[in-house]
Amino acid sequence: MKEYILMLAGVIILSALVTCISPGGKMGKFVGGMTKLLALAVLVTPLVQIFKGDLPELTVSETFEDDAGYFAACSERLSQGDEAEVAAYIEKEYGLDSEIAVTRETVPPFSRKKIRILLDLQGINGTDERIYIMTRIQEAIQAEYGCTAEVM
């Protein structure tokens, strides 16, 4: 584009100068006509390039990547919140201590994938009762959170 502008300006300035200093009569008219043709040829140069297919590239090749580290931090924070809430729920409902591990997706909307619950069943005697409590907790957590719950 810069070359085109310089070429155009140069040709027109040259033609104007030549017109000024050219002699009168038929020679002067001939010179004037030739300078006009030259200016016209320079003016239509971009059209020739367009017909040849030499267009500026307007296609989009790159894309914007998300910040995976930030998504991971959000997922981690949400998981920590879930763990505290589930632990509080189990303690309030069943009076049991527990260790919770919640796994969420690392991309929005950070859906829950799995909840792992390690119960402290020291105060509960009897295998049947323990199994009953674990099953109830598992069903309740699965129903409320909508993801797989593993109770150990």
Partner 1 sequence: MTRSRNKIIICFLASLALLLLALVPTGAAAAHASSPEEEAQEQFEGAIKDLLDSLDTKELQDYLDTLTEFHGVSVTDKLFSMITGDASLDYGSLLEAVLDFVWEEGKSMLPAFAVILAVAILCGVLNSAKNGFLQSTTSDIIHFISYLSVGAVVLATLIGVLGAGFSAITAMQRQMEIVFPILLTLMAASGGTVSAGVFRPAVVFMSGAIVELFTAVVLPVSVIVIVLSFVGNLSESVRAEKLGELLKSISKWLIGLTLGLFGVFLTVQGMTAAQYDGLSLRAIKYVVSGSVPIVGNFLSGGVDLVIAGSAVIKNAVGSFAVFLLASAVLRPLLLFVAFQLFLRICAAATEPAGGKISAFLSKVATDSGYFLAGLLCISFLYFLTIVLVVCSTGVIV
Closer by beta carbon to partner 1, 111 or else 135: 111
Taking the C-alpha atoms of residue 112 and residue 106, their distance in angstroms, rounded to an integer, is: 10
Work out how close the CB of 103 gets to partner 1 at its nearest, in angstroms, rounded to a whole number.
16
Tokens describing residue 59: 């296609």
Binding site for partner 1 (CB under 8 A): 1, 4-5, 8-9, 12-13, 15-17, 19-21, 32, 35-36, 39, 43, 56-67, 69-74, 77-78, 81-82, 85, 88-89, 92-93, 107-110, 144
Work out how close the CB of 81 gets to partner 1 at its nearest, in angstroms, rounded to a whole number.
3
CB crowding 81-94: b at 16 or more within 10 Å, else e: ebbeebbebbeeeb
Taking the C-alpha atoms of residue 143 and residue 152, their distance in angstroms, rounded to an integer, is: 18
Work out how close the CB of 13 gets to partner 1 at its nearest, in angstroms, rounded to a whole number.
6
